Chains A and B, each alone.
Chain A
Amino acid sequence: MSITLRNVRKDYDAQTEVLKDISVKVETGEFFVIVGPSGCGKSTLLRMIAGLTPITAGEVSIDDKVVNDLAPKARKLTMVFQNYALFPFMNVWDNVAFGLKARKMDQADIKQRVDEALKMVNLTELAKRKPRELSGGQRQRVALARAVASDAKICLMDEPLSNLDAQLRIKMRQEIYALQRKLGLTLIYVTHDQVEAMTMADHIMVLNDKHVQQIGTPSEIYQNPANDFVAKFFGTPQINILNAKRSQTDNHVLDVDSDLEIALDEEVPAENVKIGIRPDDMKVEAAESVEANATVKNIEFLGDETIIYATLNSGEDIHVVVPGQVNYRIFQPIKVTADSNLMFFDADGNRMNLSKEAYVHA
């Protein structure tokens, strides 16, 4: 079942706008992730799709049928909550069966579905336990089983993994992904974690400051961010964003400072430009003070790679990821360059499509 949002808006009152002009189409069977920093309205958007929160303007449709005024139940979907929303006075089996009973499904059918769902999430042995007797990961599985047992083909998840520890999160991430594929669910998944978004999504919607920043596949979003916010949000360590000015002497050249300039094939169209360079697209070499354009500030060795924190002569901080181990000292002068995958943003942060043939000189 596909879900379409058309110019959806949400105001809490005349003064407080939460979401503005959201339009997107989620295809049948798609794993769609809505990601953004906390407070960007992503949970509100999910609740608007579920019908728990009314929308102020625009149109929500499921399978090309407008559902703006439809009650949550009639939208035929399930929802998994951040805090699981289990019923503490019911055992695991009854928790999973609850929704089916509420929908007045046939007894035998309920039994079959619940048993299957519990088996799928490996909880068959714990069916008689109460939620308080389960660990965090097991409770999470009960919540998943509820979604699995339902015959609804749309599942909404609101930060389902954020209460789990890092190890378990990776495991559950894979389980959720496998379940979604197996059941052919159309899954809308809300998270603030860019790694979850990158690893699971077919398409990602990046939300910030009431607006959709970008919608695209994980690789599109990583390689072709629409603006500097998206560029900064994806990738660890974060992308380096350097402020540069058009050179006074040559309008094909961007100056970060007198020791670092970027030559372009074409003329620089604006006075101020931001340059984005992923930490692993930068190159570092030891240099004499005269040639150097940066100073090492700190070095973190992570085993397979090393992060070098450095300060450019202009005073801007950058970080560079290099493979393996390196032998730099703190305060050592270095030369930083880059020759591929440079991104350019205008003063407002919007992506500018400039020549790929850029080259960073020292």
Chain B
Amino acid sequence: MDIVTKPKLSRRIWDYTLLTVLALIILAPFLIGLWTSFLPTMQIAQGNFLSTKVSLQNYIDAFTQTPILRYLGNSLVISTATMIAQLIFCSMSAYAFVFLKFKGRKFLFGMFLATMMLPFEAEIIPNFQTVKALGLLNSYSVMVIPFLTSAFGVFMLRQSFMQMPIELKEAADIEGLGHFQFYWKMVLPYNRIPLMTLGAYSFLGAWNQYLWPMLTTFSNDFRPVQNGLRQLQSEETFNDWGMIQATAAIVVIPTLIVLFIGQHYFKSGVNEGAVK
């Protein structure tokens, strides 16, 4: 019995054509960027985009002639530190909001959420004053310390902690697990997926920061990639477009890796079987 009727072939061709065209339009800037990263700057300058002189020379130049490796290293340190810090602090405060019964819990959580409503740009001036007064300008810490925790992360983890069956907590109480043991042995493993999501989110967030590092870093020793890229572009002697595209492509790679690995874990059903 074939009850499910397949749509007509012509209809399907039309659907897929439309989807392909839309996908190409959306991907065009990335594809053009990637393509030009393989072309010599001369060809780009001449507008000869269909040139066949494809090579990896731009990438070699990028690594040998620019501080891109330093930028990548800086970003890696900053992003990793931010990610680890956010995972620790967000999960701990989310734990407190879910499993500790204290007075004013709801009010405090409301305050937490309120800070989410405030755009980061609005906080930039007071934050800048603070880090300046602390003498942190042009260092790794200036790009990590303001982002040690995030209201969004706390909110997200709180929601998923609240989904845990209360019986797990009761079972842990009967076995005599303290709060920290329960947090470490039950809550964290149970919430691996949201934690990984938050990890990817905070890592990429830190990796793609632009405005804050632009204000607080002045030297290549601490400049992260996004600002490094801008730096390369603005240096007067530097108008090697092929190489700029190559560096841009290099900078995007970690984002793709994180998304790719992340996707693997976002399969549902990992926690199935805890209850019922």
Contact = CB atoms under 8 A, between A and B. Distances in A.
B176 A71 contact: yes
B274 A73 contact: no
Interface string B184-216: 001001101000000000000000000000000
A136 interface: yes
Interface stretch (B2-10, B47-55, B155-163, B167-175): B167-175
Contacts of B189: 87, 89
Contacts of B177: 102
Given A78-B174, A79-B174, A98-B175, A88 B272 contact: yes
B181 A102 contact: yes
Interface string A316-349: 0000000000000000000000000000000000
Contacts of B275: 83-86
Given A52-B170, A132-B269, A85 B274 contact: yes
Contacts of A47: 170
Contact of A85 (B165, B181, B269): B165
Interface of B: 165, 167-168, 170-171, 173-177, 181, 186, 189-190, 192, 269-276
A184 interface: no
Contacts of B273: 86, 88, 130-134, 139
Among all A-B residue pairs, the 9 with the closest Cβ atoms: A73-B176, A132-B273, A131-B273, A83-B275, A85-B167, A88-B274, A132-B272, A102-B175, A81-B167
- B174, B189, B272: residue with the most chain A Cβ atoms closer than 10 Å: B174
Given A130-B273, A131-B273, A134-B273, A85 B168 contact: yes
Given A102-B177, A131-B273, A139-B273, A85 B190 contact: no
Contacts of A88: 190, 270-274
B174 A73 contact: yes
30 contacts: A47-B170, A52-B173, A71-B176, A72-B174, A72-B176, A73-B175, A74-B176, A79-B170, A79-B171, A79-B174, A81-B171, A83-B165, A83-B275, A84-B275, A85-B168, A85-B170, A85-B274, A85-B275, A86-B274, A87-B168, A87-B274, A88-B270, A88-B271, A88-B272, A98-B175, A102-B175, A102-B176, A102-B177, A103-B176, A139-B276
Contacts of A103: 175-176
- A51, A86, A89: residue with the most chain B Cβ atoms closer than 10 Å: A89
Contacts of A200: none
Interface in A112-168: 130-134, 136, 139, 163
Contacts of B190: 87-89
Given A83-B167, A86-B275, A89-B270, 20 more contacts: A52-B174, A71-B176, A72-B173, A77-B174, A78-B174, A79-B170, A79-B171, A81-B167, A81-B170, A84-B275, A84-B276, A85-B274, A87-B168, A88-B270, A88-B271, A99-B174, A99-B175, A102-B177, A132-B271, A139-B273
A310 interface: no
A92 B36 CA distance: 55
Nearest to B177: A102
- A52, A77, A134: residue with the most chain B Cβ atoms closer than 10 Å: A52
A79 B269 CA distance: 26
A89 B192 contact: yes
Contacts, number: 81
Contacts of B170: 47, 50, 52, 79, 81, 85
A102 B168 CA distance: 14
Contact of B276 (A72, A89, A136): A136
A52 B174 CA distance: 8
- A50, A77, A79: residue with the most chain B Cβ atoms closer than 10 Å: A79
Contacts of B165: 83, 85
Given A87-B168, A88-B190, A73 B173 contact: yes
A45 to B, nearest CB: 14
Nearest to B188: A89
- A77, A78, A87, A131: residue with the most chain B Cβ atoms closer than 10 Å: A87
Contacts of A130: 273
Interface in A47-69: 47, 50-52
Contacts of B167: 81-85
A218 to B, nearest CB: 29
A163 B167 CA distance: 15
Contacts of A84: 167, 275-276
Contacts of A82: 167
Nearest to B182: A102
A73 B174 CA distance: 5
Contacts of A74: 176
Contacts of A71: 173, 176
A90 B273 CA distance: 11
B268 to A, nearest CB: 11
Nearest to A99: B175
A52 B176 CA distance: 11
A87 B176 contact: no
B26 to A, nearest CB: 37
Nearest to A47: B170
B167 to A, nearest CB: 4
Nearest to A132: B273
A79 B176 CA distance: 12
Contacts of B168: 85, 87
Contacts of A52: 170, 173-174
